[in-house]
Amino acid sequence: MLVMPENEQLPVRQARAGDSSAWDVLFRRYQLPLYVYVFELVHSEQASLDIVQETFISAVRHINGLREDDKIGGWLFGIAHQKCVQRWRKQTREEIALEEVGASPTEFEASPDDLLIRQEQEEEFMYLLNQLPPPQRSVLLLYFVEDFSIEEIAEIIGTAPGTVKSRLHYAKKTLRKLMERNAE
C-alpha cells in the first residue's frame, strides 16, 4: 500500500474543486505504482500506459464519487483494476498468451553469478505467476506487492472480503503446485 509521510497531505479536496496543479500532484504520486500494478496484470507497456491514463481521466470525471479523501490510493487502484477487467473481457482466449517478463533492475553489490541466478528465479516466478487466472493473480499482486489489506482489496476489485481471502488461498495453493511441478 502507498504510505504517505505523516506530514504530507494529498490535495484531494483541491482536485475535487478542479485545481489542475492538485491533479498533477496526485498523478506524480500514483502514476508509477499504478503502472507497475497494471503492467503485472496486462503484460503490455502500451496497454499499461493507456490504462493508467484512462484511470486518471475516469478519476477526474468521477472524483465526486470518492467518499473519503484519505482513500484516494485504493480508489485509483480500483479504477485501474476495473479497466484491466474490461480489457480482459475484450480479449479472446488466444490473445491471453503467456509472455516473458523483462529482466529486473540489478543490484550493484551482487556478483554476476548471483545476478543471473536471481534473474532466473524471478523469471521463473513471474512465468508461474502468469499461469494463474487473472482474478487470482490480481489479488496476489495487490496483497503481496502493493501491500493492501483484504478489506482494501475487496473495495478495489468490487467483491466481498471472503472472496478475496478465497482467491488468495487458491492462488497460493495453485502457485505452490506449479512451483512443485516446475521443480521436478
Confidence of residue 99 (pLDDT cuts 50, 70, 90): very low
pLDDT exceeds 70 at position 64: yes
pLDDT classification of 53: cutoffs 50, 70, 90? very high
Complete domains list, the chain, with CATH: 1-97 (1.10.1740.10)
pTM beyond 0.75? no
Q: Give the chain's end-to-end CA distance (angstroms, integer).
A: 35
Buried-exposed string 29-60: b where 16+ CB fall within 10 A, e elsewhere? bbbebbbebbbbbbbeeebbeebbebbbebbe
**Residue 109's pLDDT band (boundaries 50, 70, 90)?**
low
Give the Cα separation of 123 and 131 in Å (integer). Answer: 13
pLDDT band (50, 70, 90) for residue 114: low
Q: How confident is the model at residue 111 (pLDDT cuts 50, 70, 90)?
A: low
Instruction: Check if the beta carbon of residue 155 is closer than 8 Å to that of residue 139.
Output: no
Query: Which grid coordinates belong to 128?
Result: 508461474
Axis-axis angle for helices 45-62, 72-90 (nearest 10): 130
Only one residue has cell 484512462, namely 54
Please give the average per-residue pLDDT across 152-178, as a whole number.
Answer: 89
Asked if the model's pLDDT at residue 162 lies above 80, the reply is yes
* pLDDT surpassing 80 at residue 175: yes
